[in-house]
Amino acid sequence: MSYRTVIFDLFDTLADFDRDRLPVIHVNGEAIHSTTAVVYPLFAERYSHVPLETFYQAFRRSFDEAARLRESEEREVSARERFGLFFQNLEIPVTPEIEPFLGRLLDAHMTCLADAIHAPLERRELLNWLKDRYQLALISNFDHGPTARQILDRAGMTSYFDLILISEEIGQRKPYTAIFQTACQALQIRPHEAIFIGDSPSIDIAGAKGVGMAVIWLNRRGELLDESIPQPDHTVTRLEEIKGILG
C-alpha cells in the first residue's frame, strides 16, 4: 500500500514528556513532580489563606473533571477552561477582574511543562528524510495551542508539516472522528491515503482506524494491546524503524 500523507502524533511520539524534569514539591510528606511548585507560589501572592495541600487537591481534581468532560462531550477542554474549574473547586469566582491573574498562572504552568518536553535531534532528521517522499501532517491532543506550537518550533519541526492541528485550537480531539475528518479535508485526501503514527492505543490507533486510516503503533515499552483496540497495520518499538515501512 502506498500512502500520500504521513500524519504524526506529537507527545510521546515526536516529543517526549519527562515528568522527572518537572520541579519537586512536597505535599503531605510526599515528594511530587508537578508544575504546582511554580504555580502555587504565584497563587499564594494573592490567596495566602489557601494551603498548598488544598491547592494541589483542587488542581488535581480539575484534571479529572476535564478528562470526564472530554469523554462525555467528545471535545477538547482547554487549559483555560480547566483553570476555571480549578478556581471553582477553590470557590474563587472567575470574574473579569481575575482573568489576567488566571492568565499568569496558566503561563507559569505551561512554561514549566514545556521545559519538561524534549525532542531528540534524530526525530527531526527523520522528518527531513520523510519530507521528500510524503506530505507530512500532525494531529496533537493538547489543551494549549501556543505551547504545542512552541515545542514544535523549538525542535525545529514546524516547517516540515503542511498541516498542524492542535486539539485546543479547534475544540476537537482524538480519538473522535471529527479531528481526523478536519485533517483530511484540509489536506484534500481520503483517510485511506494517509498513515498515522502514534503511541496511544486508545487515542491514536482507535481514532485513526475508526476513520479508515492505516496506523503505525509506536510501542516503545512493548505493551500488550487491549482486545478492544483494533489491530494496527504495523508496530515499531523505535520511531526510526518507520523508515523500513515507509521507504
**d(C-alpha 47, C-alpha 126), whole Å:** 48
**d(C-alpha 33, C-alpha 30), whole Å:** 10
Nearest distance, CB of residue 129 and Mg ion, angstroms? 21
The residue among 43 and 217 lying less far from Mg ion, judged by its C-beta, is 217
The DSSP 8-state label assigned to residue 68 in this structure reads H
**d(C-alpha 236, C-alpha 222), whole Å:** 9
User: Residue with C-alpha cell 505493551?
Assistant: 223
Nearest distance, CB of residue 174 and Mg ion, angstroms? 9
The residue among 12 and 169 lying less far from Mg ion, judged by its C-beta, is 12
- Is-contact 15 113, C-beta < 8 A? no
The residue among 62 and 140 lying less far from Mg ion, judged by its C-beta, is 140
Indicate the burial class of 30 (C-beta count within 10 angstroms; 0-12, 13-18, 19 or more): exposed
- Is-contact 139 133, C-beta < 8 A? no
Nearest distance, CB of residue 123 and Mg ion, angstroms? 13
Nearest distance, CB of residue 148 and Mg ion, angstroms? 12
Nearest distance, CB of residue 207 and Mg ion, angstroms? 11
Q: Which three cell numbers stand for residue 230?
A: 483494533
Give the binding site for Mg ion (CB under 5 A).
9, 11-12, 199-200
The residue among 78 and 200 lying less far from Mg ion, judged by its C-beta, is 200
The residue among 25 and 242 lying less far from Mg ion, judged by its C-beta, is 242
**d(C-alpha 37, C-alpha 23), whole Å:** 6
